Every structure is written in C-alpha cells, then in structure tokens.
Amino acid sequence: MNSLKTTFSITLLALILILSSCQEKASKKERLKKTIKTQIDTIDGTVAIAFYSLSEPKDSLYINVDEKFHAASTMKVPVMIELFKQANEGKINLNDSIVLKNEFKSIVDGSLYSMDINEDSDDIIYQQIDTKVALKDLMHSMITISSNLATNVLIELVDAKKVTATMRELGAEKIEVLRGVEDLKAYEKGLSNSTTARDLMIIMKSIANTNAGNQKDCEAMIAILKDQQHKNVIPFYLPKEVKVAHKTGSITGVHHDAGIVYLPDGRSYVLVLLSKNLKDFDKGTVQLAKISKTVYDYVSSN
C-alpha cells in the first residue's frame, strides 16, 4: 500500500512539474509576443514575422504571415533551389560556364533591356560581360552579394515559371517569381515578384530539413547562405558565435531578411522579417535587427 502511495505521489509530482514547466513556457511565449509587438509599434510601416523552432517544432510565432510583400531579393533563394534541382535532373551543370550578357527580355512584350551598374550591389561582375562565367559563381554572387545581373542571367536560364512551380511543390502557396530585376515595363504593370513571411519560412525550413533537394545540395545551399555579406538585420545584434544562413532584400521602403539561425549548442530556428511602406528605412532596419535579437534571447534562455 505504501509503495502504491509513493508511486502515486511521484506521478502527481511529475505531472505538477510538467504543468508548471508548460505554464512557464507559455508565459515566456506571451512575453515574447508582447515585446515584439511593442517593437513593431516603433516601426512606421507594415511588418510581418515568422519564427519557427527547428529544434522544437511546436515553438513558433506568426505575425501578419500571410500579408503580401514585394519579394525584393529574397526571391533569389527560390532561384538557387531551382538551379540545384535542374542540376540534379541533369538539365544543367553548375560547373559549366556561359558567356555573360547584359541583355534581357521584358516579360511584358519581349523588348530588350539592360541592367544598370549604378542600381546593382555587384559592380565587379560588369567587368566580366562578354566573358565566360561559371554558373556556380553566378549563383554565389546572386546570394552572397545579391548581384542583380547574375540573378537575371540565372532566371532566364531556369525559367521563372519553373521556380514558382517548385516552390508550390515545397508547400509555399503564395510566393510568385515572375521575372528578373529592373524589368520596368513589368513593374509599371504591377507584375512584380511577391511573397509572404509564411512562404519564406516554409522555403527556409525546407532547406534546413533537406527537403529542398538532396542532403548534399541542401548543405551546399546553407553554406552559400552563411556566406551572406549583407548582415544588418538578422545577425546584426547576435553573438559572433551564432551562425546565420540568410538572404536579405531591399528596395525603396522595403527591407527583408529570411534565414536559419544556428546556435552553438546545436539548436536552430528559422526567422523571417519582412517590412514595407517604411517611412524611415534606417530606423526600420535597426528595429528589425532588434526584433531578431529578442527572438534569439527567447530561444537561448529556454
């Protein structure tokens, strides 16, 4: 009888501890949400946030995740995924080289347009026009320094429609990759690449979980994303030992960052920060970086 009582007491104590732990975690989650909403209120613009713990999948936070945003350069991640997919299918070889051209067709009427070196984040690549450049090098420049010229060459190679179709296969239901960069005729007709925070979260999650390709390809994608040179949002306030595989994107009034954050203890999470209609771009950027720090503090303290 005493043995039965002891077992019952231990079980009851275990249940109490479990409930207490769950309540404490729920309380922390509520504080996280309140803190982030307060931070969002300091931004004059529209913000969306998707946080998903890869270590504890039930742990997530979604704010405006289905709001539509101009994708800016975040759409370069889907293009990278498509490049690896077509390479895996034998349609292209990433080690092959192509002659770099600065001439592209508008999706509106097929008329030709060229990229402006003054509008691009990569000016070095323009010195390589009319020379052969390896596809893998163009892809690396597209992601790490956000080269628009490299992006347009690669989008024409793999076909924007196929990029979007592959994103649908991954479960990203709203993202639209319609065209390359600086297609002004398309822009004037409202034909722009768009995304949601939810879809970018799904895409980053698929890379982290090796669903965006085979394990070798996904590891290669992560390595490229970790080599990102634009670091003023997600990684900005994080400790140096924290590694971030991510892709930024910005145009007038818009600043995004979407990535996978790797903690030294082996845990990881996906974070997507999207913004539009920013009245003060620099202030908005700082606040987004602070939101990233808030999420990191929450994860690292659990």
Asked if residue 201 lies in contact with residue 258, where contact means CB atoms within 8 angstroms, the answer is yes
Residue 21, domain member (yes or no)? no
280: containing domain = 40-301
Residue 19, domain member (yes or no)? no
Q: What share of the chain is helix, strand, coil (3-state, %, to 5)?
A: 50, 20, 35
pTM value is: 0.90
Q: pLDDT of the chain along its 302 residues, tens only?
A: 555 555 555 665 555 555 555 555 668 889 999 999 999 999 999 999 999 999 998 899 999 999 999 999 999 999 999 999 999 999 999 999 999 999 999 999 999 999 888 888 788 899 999 999 999 999 999 999 999 999 999 999 999 999 999 999 999 999 999 999 999 899 899 999 999 999 999 999 999 999 999 999 999 999 999 999 999 999 999 999 999 999 999 999 999 999 999 999 999 999 999 999 999 999 999 999 999 999 999 999 98
Residue 187, domain member (yes or no)? yes
Residue 245, domain member (yes or no)? yes
Tell me how far apart the alpha carbons of residues 44 and 68 are, in angstroms, rounded to a whole number. Answer: 17
Residue 32, domain member (yes or no)? no
Residue 233, domain member (yes or no)? yes
- The enclosing domain of 156 has a CATH number of 3.40.710.10
Torsion of CA 36, 37, 39, 41, to 10 degrees: 170
Residue 23, domain member (yes or no)? no
Residue 18, domain member (yes or no)? no
Asked if residue 188 lies in contact with residue 118, where contact means CB atoms within 8 angstroms, the answer is no
| Number of domains making up the chain | 1
